[in-house]
Amino acid sequence: MSRIVVTGASSGIGAALAEQLAARGDRVVLAARRKDLLDALAASLGPNAHAVAADVTRRTDVERLRDRAIDALGGVDVWVNNAGRGLSKPALELTDAEFDEMMLVNVKSALYGMQAIVPHFVEHGRGHIINVSSFLSRVPMASIRAGYSAAKAALNSLTTNARMDLSASHPEIKVTLVMPGLVSTDFAKHALHGTPPIRPGAGGAPPQTAAQVAEVIVRVIDRPVDEVYTNPVHAGIVQRYYAEPSVQ
């Protein structure tokens, strides 16, 4: 049984992950801004789930989330930075405010989470950080997601560098990067400026459900790896893209 914090847990991948973790007996703290949805989900999952309303774009909220989680669970073993938001606008049309929003929600929120929980992991000699990125961070197949893809690429680099530092000083603290592709959730609906229709199979693979992505994250919790594409088709696409970067 693990003690796990999941951000962005009120819907989509985060909610599906919370459901699977609670069902198998893990103790989870769920964090999101939408308190009503969060409370309802936690209530449906039973005594193994605790809801903490938090805006993870605020460092003080993330630190309060950490403290509440430690109090509720007696400690934290795994911290999943899952919160994120999309944006539909080409790169050359991005405003300062829009790009800043992408970096705040998709990168700084994860940085706050890592910086908040790592001292706890160091104190106890072990722990696991999981950062949820995107296949688009590696292969820019949707130019309308330029700002989002750029932010997730920054998250990839931040994650890798944190892993390098921790593996040298505290090898029992693991850091995993998870990269889903197209997922059948409300993510597209909640993207800034909405989302135009996306044809099935865009990105080289059919969309996954939130539950399918969550299953991969559960496996990673049990057997940590450095990086994983939730859809195995994407690994081959990435390899071909970097072998022939001019081919779209």
What's the pLDDT score for residue 54?
97
**Residues tagged active-site:** 148
**Could you tell me if residue 188 is inside a domain?**
yes
**Could you tell me if residue 248 is inside a domain?**
no
Residue found by looking up tokens 């829009």 in the block: 98
Sort residue 46 into left (φ over 0), alpha (ψ -120 to 50) or beta.
left
What's the pLDDT score for residue 189?
46
What's the pLDDT score for residue 194?
53
Per-residue pLDDT reduced to its tens digit, 139-154: 988 888 899 999 999 9
Separation CA 77–CA 128 (nearest Å)? 6
What's the pLDDT score for residue 14?
96
pTM of the model: 0.90
Share of the chain above pLDDT 70, in %: 90
pLDDT at 8 > cutoff 60: yes
Separation CA 229–CA 179 (nearest Å)? 5
Alpha-carbon distance values, 197 to 144, 183, 188 (Å): 12, 14, 9
Separation CA 220–CA 25 (nearest Å)? 16
Q: Structural domain of residue 12, as residue ranges?
A: 3-243
**Could you tell me if residue 199 is inside a domain?**
yes
What's the pLDDT score for residue 243?
85
Burial class of residue 114, CB neighbours in 10 A (0-12, 13-18, 19+): buried
**Could you tell me if residue 152 is inside a domain?**
yes
Residue found by looking up tokens 């003080």 in the block: 60
Per-residue pLDDT reduced to its tens digit, 111-129: 999 999 999 999 999 999 9
Q: Is the dihedral of CA 89, 213, 240, 155 positive or negative?
A: positive
Structurally, how many domains does the chain consist of? Answer: 1
Provide the angle, in degrees to the nearest 10, between the axes of the packed helices 109-124 and 146-169. 10
> Residue 37's closest CA among 25, 17, 57, 51?
51
Share of the chain above pLDDT 90, in %: 78
Q: Assign residue 148 the CATH number of its domain.
A: 3.40.50.720
Amino acid 114 reads M
What's the pLDDT score for residue 77?
98
